[in-house]
Amino acid sequence: MSACARIRHDHTAHSSPPSRASGIKRPHSPPPPRRGGRFRIAGADLSASITVFLIAVPMSLGLAVAMDAPLEAGLISAAVGGIVAGLLGGTPLQVSGPSAGLTVVTAELIQIYGWRTTCAITIGAGLLQILLGSLRAARGALAVSPAIVHGTLAGIGVAIALAQLHIVLGASPQSSAAANALALPEQLGRTSPAAPLIGALTISVLVVWPRLPGRIGRAVRRLPAALASVAIATAVAAVAAPGIARVDLPSWRSHALPELPQGPVLALATAVLTVLLVASLESLLAAVAVDKLTADRAGGRTADSSPPAPDAPAAPRVQRSDLDRELRGQGIANVLAGLLGGLPVSGGAVRSSANVRAGATGRAATVLHGVWVLLAAGLLVTALEWIPLAALAALVMVVGFQMVNYAHIRNVHKHREFLVYGATITGVVLFGVLEGVAIGIAVAVAVALHRLTRTRITVTDQGGQHLVVVRGQLTFLAVPRLSRTLGQLPRGGDAVVELDGFFMDHAAYETIQDWSDAQTAQGGRVVFTGRSGGRIAEPASAAHSCCRPWTPWRNHHCHDRPDRPGQPADARRAAATRAAFAPDENPGADRGPADSAGAEADARAADATAGPTGRSDTPGDGAAVPRRTGAHRLASGLSSFQRNTAPLVRDELARLAREGQRPSQLFITCADSRLVTSMITASGPGDLFTVRNVGNLVPPPGSEAGDDSVGAAIEYAVDVLKVESITVCGHSGCGAMQALMGTRPDTPRTSLWRWLRHGLPSLERMTSRHHAWARISGRLPADEVEQLCLTNVVQQLDHLRAHESVARRLAEGALQLHGMYFHVGEAQAYLLAEGASAGSGVDEVFDRVGPCDPNHPHPYDITDLSDPTSLTALGDPGDHAAVSVPTGAAGPADPTGSGELERTSA
């Protein structure tokens, strides 16, 4: 048990910050540049690239069909996105290609401006992406409300699904989502069965393929579901429906390249901004999702939350995304895709997640996938032309449905932003992407303003005092209602104003301040409190306003501040109001010692917080707020532990659970609730083996009379746990010692008496002439209660030595005994001198334990402030051995020759 701990200076890589030259990436910083410059291809990257390639080809063709763009444009975008964005982007594992989020926008642009102008618009959007990435604006793009972002993507998904449903039914989509929805009934009446059946087959395979059971299922699931569904649908269509509409890849010689845009400048600028917005948001959100997937893979977590196999190889570490670099890479890819006549490019969540799950370790997988797409575009044209359009449309339709994510809906509903989410979806489906985003932003601003102005003000008359409760934010918009409510209160009356909000603007502040000054001038009294009942003007150091784990012990009452379960809020406020104004209802009541000490502390606190008139403005002064019931108090404390402290100690407790307890000390102390052993000894889990009982008594062997609990604990600690020291700790104001002094011959033989009789030897020792009175830090005890508390510690050490296991370990030199006294009111610890602890007959002196000198951080610091000649034992900073002087011998470190220097380190 150390009075003060030595600071260990460990200059390791864990304690010193990494230098810039070390290449170690700091949190929230861009990844360091890759050194060496070699493009390495691992086996995992090769297999992952093939997996992503098999997904990307049918999806790229399907998106081209959905946009009514040249089919080869989808392949161009897939190749450019894989190679260019893969090499230059900031997310190594993200796979870019034709943008699913831009399906509706691109289809509309092609219908209005034609294909070649649409390519020019793609180039313009790419140039703006490069500019924004260079200006480091990527993080700002993610500042848009998630409800708007997810609503935009969900609206695009709905529009994609409605459009592709027409192709699955064997027809052509309309110009807008609303038109597609209105045309569905007529289309269903004139549908031929071939295309819908192929589409249904494709969807069925997509759904069933990942869920195939057994060993065969695990084997075939290595083939991507997208490729399997399109391949099966193609094979079935070749046999059952040879006349169905199929992919038609025109000759590359007829491929159209961009031209200078033609049309109204404002409309073209709006189109460029729309492509920029959707492509950038889709890419950045996908990059964030890839980071999460990569972190989950590195931590051994999978989609089904199953732990990794014990012999499974560790997942490779991948650098975190540099979003600004990613935005620049996407911009360069869009510029090149537009120049080559391709579709707009963005990062894809489907392709990227497949890449991560396939085991990719770096950029090689993304780049190789683009190379395979490029080769397929030149060598597999004949095979690609066998694919039915209905199969590609069904594949894209499923992608559209997946963009309406139930997890996103649940999150926005939980955060009360579903109105913003729904408005954005509606706007995108009915009016378009840019219009839908604008509607979502407008609704989000309206919701924020509504919440800002939603201020509830209530007044309750509580027997002459008025309680004014203001819930919500106080802005100028609430000033008229606030002023009207305050004006209705009696002039010169007492009031408590409870402010439950986190913002008050200048107008509201002046309104409340002017009213408060007027009330005070007319003889009234106004108290401002927060929701917890604490005075708002109270200093933060005394308000328990922030409950931080492992910080000063006074914060242990933080979880008592909010509304107490089981006690109505009105009752709590009423108690606070009565406490603020009512005098002591029973000033003449008899108080015990503990009550007297508490009353003195309350008086000092009241004097400290009193205003010029001598009265305290803090609700609760002078009267105690009713305490919670035990069950609710326990539940609240446990909840506070789980929220604040458990995350910090979980790893350490898990280690102790694995290794078992190995405490170094047995600590025997009183059951008094004011004695917090871990606090006063600066101990943590696993340090102390603690025994608490009434009076910190140690029954001598053979006298337990049916109660062997203390003896059993001593035997277990000494023989099984092999503790190195035992401490008997008494404390000031001990109720057991007071009861012991009040014992009479006619005292009822209760359970408490039968236990306290083990303290009778301490009482006899104190009254005996054969034993000198114990002294505390150079003075005599304050009264006979304190004297008995000190004597009891010495006597219980004698009882402890009588136990066989303790005596044996003491004889072996493997155990030390310590006596300790803790003064509760002073928060001061005292240690029994070494000679007395060892039972060598030296004077029974308890020395004060002082704080460590920061310039001399030694493991012991015994200071007697009452004796100007006393010295603090100082030794070599690297020497942990005790400084001791033989009994009765004087030395330079012991000017008095009393031999009372005490070692305080274990």
- Higher pLDDT residue, 78 or 435? 78
pLDDT, residue 872, reads 31
User: What integer is the mean pLDDT of 693-716?
Assistant: 84
* Cα–Cα distance for residue pair 60/776, rounded to 1 Å: 86
pLDDT tens per residue, range 450-468: 877 778 888 988 877 889 9
User: What integer is the mean pLDDT of 298-311?
Assistant: 46
* Cα–Cα distance for residue pair 173/160, rounded to 1 Å: 10
Quick check: 102 and 278 in contact, CB under 8 A? yes
> What's the distance, CA 441 to chain centroid?
29
Q: Is the pLDDT at 810 greater than 70, yes or no?
A: yes
Q: Is the pLDDT at 152 greater than 70, yes or no?
A: yes
User: What integer is the mean pLDDT of 44-55?
Assistant: 83
> What's the distance, CA 469 to chain centroid?
31
User: Which residue carries 């009294």 as its tokens?
Assistant: 525
pLDDT, residue 10, reads 41
Annotated active-site residue in 494, 672, 847, 864: 672
Q: CB burial class (10 A; 0-12, 13-18, 19+) of residue 265?
A: exposed
Sorting pLDDT into bands at 50, 70 and 90, what band is 17? very low
User: What integer is the mean pLDDT of 738-743?
Assistant: 86
Angle between helical axes of 389-402 and 225-240 (0-180°, round to 10): 150
pLDDT tens per residue, range 30-45: 444 444 445 577 778 8
User: Which residue carries 């008496």 as its tokens?
Assistant: 753
pLDDT, residue 167, reads 83
Average pLDDT, the chain: 75
Pull the structure tokens for residue 293.
């997937």
Positive or negative: CA dihedral 394, 395, 396, 400: positive
* Cα–Cα distance for residue pair 870/856, rounded to 1 Å: 17
Annotated active-site residue in 328, 731, 758, 803: 731
* Cα–Cα distance for residue pair 614/743, rounded to 1 Å: 44
Q: CB burial class (10 A; 0-12, 13-18, 19+) of residue 468?
A: buried
Quick check: 351 and 52 in contact, CB under 8 A? yes
Q: Is the pLDDT at 330 greater than 90, yes or no?
A: yes
pLDDT, residue 254, reads 67
Q: How many CA atoms lie within 13 A of 466 on its CB side?
A: 20
Pull the structure tokens for residue 466.
């008025």
pLDDT, residue 725, reads 93
pLDDT, residue 732, reads 92
* Cα–Cα distance for residue pair 731/790, rounded to 1 Å: 8
Quick check: 359 and 51 in contact, CB under 8 A? no
SS (H, E, C) 481-523: HHHHHHHCCCCCCEEEEEEECCCECHHHHHHHHHHHHHHHHCC
- Higher pLDDT residue, 686 or 153? 686
SS (H, E, C) 526-550: EEEECCCCCECCCCHHHCCCCCCCC
* Cα–Cα distance for residue pair 224/53, rounded to 1 Å: 10
Q: Which residues of 311-344 are buried (b: 16+ CB within 10 A; e: fewer)?
A: eeeebeebbbbbbbbbbbbbbbbbbbbbbbbbbb
Q: Of the segments 76-85, 483-492, 846-855, 870-879, which one has the largest average pLDDT value? A: 76-85
Annotated active-site residue in 4, 729, 734, 789: 734
Sorting pLDDT into bands at 50, 70 and 90, what band is 305? very low
pLDDT, residue 101, reads 80
**DSSP character for 724?**
S
User: Which residue carries 């950029």 as its tokens?
Assistant: 363
**The overall pTM is greater than 0.85:** no
pLDDT tens per residue, range 218-239: 888 878 888 888 899 999 998 8
Sorting pLDDT into bands at 50, 70 and 90, what band is 142? low
Quick check: 739 and 752 in contact, CB under 8 A? yes
* Cα–Cα distance for residue pair 630/638, rounded to 1 Å: 12
Q: Is the pLDDT at 111 greater than 80, yes or no?
A: yes
Quick check: 74 and 98 in contact, CB under 8 A? yes
* Range of lowest pLDDT (635-639, 666-670, 836-840): 836-840
pLDDT, residue 163, reads 83
Annotated active-site residue in 136, 416, 450, 674: 674
Let me know if 879 is a catalytic residue: no
Q: How many residues are given for the chain?
A: 906
> What's the distance, CA 851 to chain centroid?
35
**Residues of the chain with pLDDT > 70: what percent?**
73
Pull the structure tokens for residue 220.
């075939």
> What's the distance, CA 418 to chain centroid?
24
pLDDT, residue 300, reads 55
* Cα–Cα distance for residue pair 352/16, rounded to 1 Å: 36
User: What integer is the mean pLDDT of 119-140?
Assistant: 91
- Higher pLDDT residue, 774 or 309? 774
- Higher pLDDT residue, 521 or 190? 521
User: What integer is the mean pLDDT of 59-73?
Assistant: 86
pLDDT tens per residue, range 841-889: 666 788 888 775 444 443 333 333 333 333 233 333 333 333 222 333 3
- Higher pLDDT residue, 53 or 43? 53
User: What integer is the mean pLDDT of 259-281?
Assistant: 88
Q: Are strands 494-500 and 526-529 parallel, antiparallel or unpaired?
A: parallel
Let me know if 650 is a catalytic residue: no
Q: Are strands 688-693 and 665-670 parallel, antiparallel or unpaired?
A: parallel
Phi, psi of 330 (to 5 degrees): -65, -35
Let me know if 674 is a catalytic residue: yes
Sorting pLDDT into bands at 50, 70 and 90, what band is 316? low
- Higher pLDDT residue, 146 or 126? 126
* Range of lowest pLDDT (59-63, 106-110, 169-173, 879-883): 879-883
pLDDT, residue 567, reads 46
User: Which DSSP helix (H) or strand (E) runs through 879?
Assistant: none
Let me know if 731 is a catalytic residue: yes
Q: Is the pLDDT at 492 greater than 60, yes or no?
A: yes
Q: Of the segments 123-132, 263-272, 648-657, 746-755, which one has the largest average pLDDT value? A: 123-132
* Range of lowest pLDDT (127-131, 771-775, 875-879): 875-879
User: Which DSSP helix (H) or strand (E) runs through 497?
Assistant: strand 494-500
pLDDT, residue 38, reads 55
Phi-psi region of 432 (alpha: psi -120 to 50; beta: other; left: phi over 0): left
pLDDT tens per residue, range 403-440: 888 888 888 888 888 999 999 999 988 887 778 888 98
Let me know if 255 is a catalytic residue: no
pLDDT, residue 599, reads 37
User: What integer is the mean pLDDT of 755-775?
Assistant: 84
**Residues of the chain with pLDDT > 90: what percent?**
21
* Range of lowest pLDDT (344-348, 372-376, 585-589): 585-589
User: Which residue carries 């509760």 as its tokens?
Assistant: 824
pLDDT, residue 636, reads 79
pLDDT, residue 317, reads 57
Annotated active-site residue in 4, 119, 558, 670: 670
The helices-and-strands tally (H runs, E runs) of the chain is 34, 13
pLDDT, residue 367, reads 93
Q: Of the segments 283-287, 406-410, 554-558, 686-690, which one has the largest average pLDDT value? A: 686-690
pLDDT, residue 703, reads 67
Quick check: 470 and 497 in contact, CB under 8 A? yes
* Range of lowest pLDDT (20-34, 243-257, 328-342, 854-868): 854-868
Sorting pLDDT into bands at 50, 70 and 90, what band is 315? low
User: Which residue carries 């392709």 as its tokens?
Assistant: 351
Question: In terms of Cα–Cα distance, which of 708, 798, 75, 659 is closest to 379?
Answer: 75
pLDDT tens per residue, range 814-849: 999 999 999 998 889 999 887 666 666 666 788 888
Quick check: 873 and 858 in contact, CB under 8 A? yes
User: What integer is the mean pLDDT of 239-243?
Assistant: 85
Q: Is the pLDDT at 891 greater than 60, yes or no?
A: no
User: What integer is the mean pLDDT of 802-807?
Assistant: 92
Sorting pLDDT into bands at 50, 70 and 90, what band is 721? very high
